Amino acid sequence: MDWPRLLLAADAVLLLHLAVAGFIVLVPPLAWLGKARGWRWVRSPWLRLPHLGITALVLAEDLAGRLCPLTEWEWALRQEALADGQPRRSWTAEWAGRLLYADLPDWAYTVLYAALLAIVLATVRAVPIRFGKTAH
């Protein structure tokens, strides 16, 4: 694969990763807002169970000392582009990377992920998931 395609693929993976992070961060406030506004869709298991699972998975990966597979995939694509003598980062990677990859110590990420999971669990308790016809 030539380097422009490698960088484009790496940017696509980064944007997917950013979307997943946005999903993790935005669902709890949406659930609380939806509870206040009577939005039934925020209680849907199709939204909330994948959200809970992804949030738990992020913490589990961190506790196991593993990088996110999306991070590994993106970095591998960028390394391959670099091997072709091309820059590893694009404009998209610069701005999206700043949003996703904060310069924090490893322990701070663990605390952040644990806090996010605690917020998600508290939200599940306060804004319960509804199964069946009432979830739509």
3-state secondary structure the chain: CCHHHHHHHHHHHHHHHHHHHHHHHHHHHHHHHHHHHCCHHHHCHHHHHHHHHHHHHHHHHHHCCCCCHHHHHHHHHHHHHHHCCCCCCCHHHHHHHHHHCCCCCHHHHHHHHHHHHHHHHHHHHHCCCCCCHHHC
**Considering the domain boundaries, does residue 136 fall inside one?**
no
Question: Cβ distance 42 to 30 under 8 Å?
Answer: yes
The model carries a pTM of 0.86
Report which residue type is found at 24: I
Task: Give me the domain span that covers residue 11.
Answer: 3-130
**Considering the domain boundaries, does residue 135 fall inside one?**
no
Task: Note the pLDDT of residue 117.
Answer: 98
**Total tally of structural domains belonging to the chain:** 1
Report which residue type is found at 116: L
**Considering the domain boundaries, does residue 107 fall inside one?**
yes
Residue 36 pLDDT > 80: yes
Half-sphere exposure of 75 (CA within 13 A, CB side): 7
Q: Average pLDDT of 82-107?
A: 81
**Considering the domain boundaries, does residue 95 fall inside one?**
yes
Task: Note the pLDDT of residue 22.
Answer: 96
**Considering the domain boundaries, does residue 70 fall inside one?**
yes
Mean pLDDT score of the chain, rounded to an integer? 91
Residue 136 pLDDT > 70: no
Count other C-beta atoms under 10 Å from residue 108's C-beta.
11
Task: Note the pLDDT of residue 6.
Answer: 86
Task: Note the pLDDT of residue 97.
Answer: 83
**Considering the domain boundaries, does residue 51 fall inside one?**
yes
Q: How confident is the model over 39-91, as pLDDT tens digits?
A: 999 999 999 999 999 999 999 999 999 999 999 999 899 888 887 666 666 77
Residue 134 pLDDT > 70: no
**Considering the domain boundaries, does residue 97 fall inside one?**
yes
Q: Average pLDDT of 106-119?
A: 96
Count other C-beta atoms under 10 Å from residue 30's C-beta.
17
**Considering the domain boundaries, does residue 113 fall inside one?**
yes
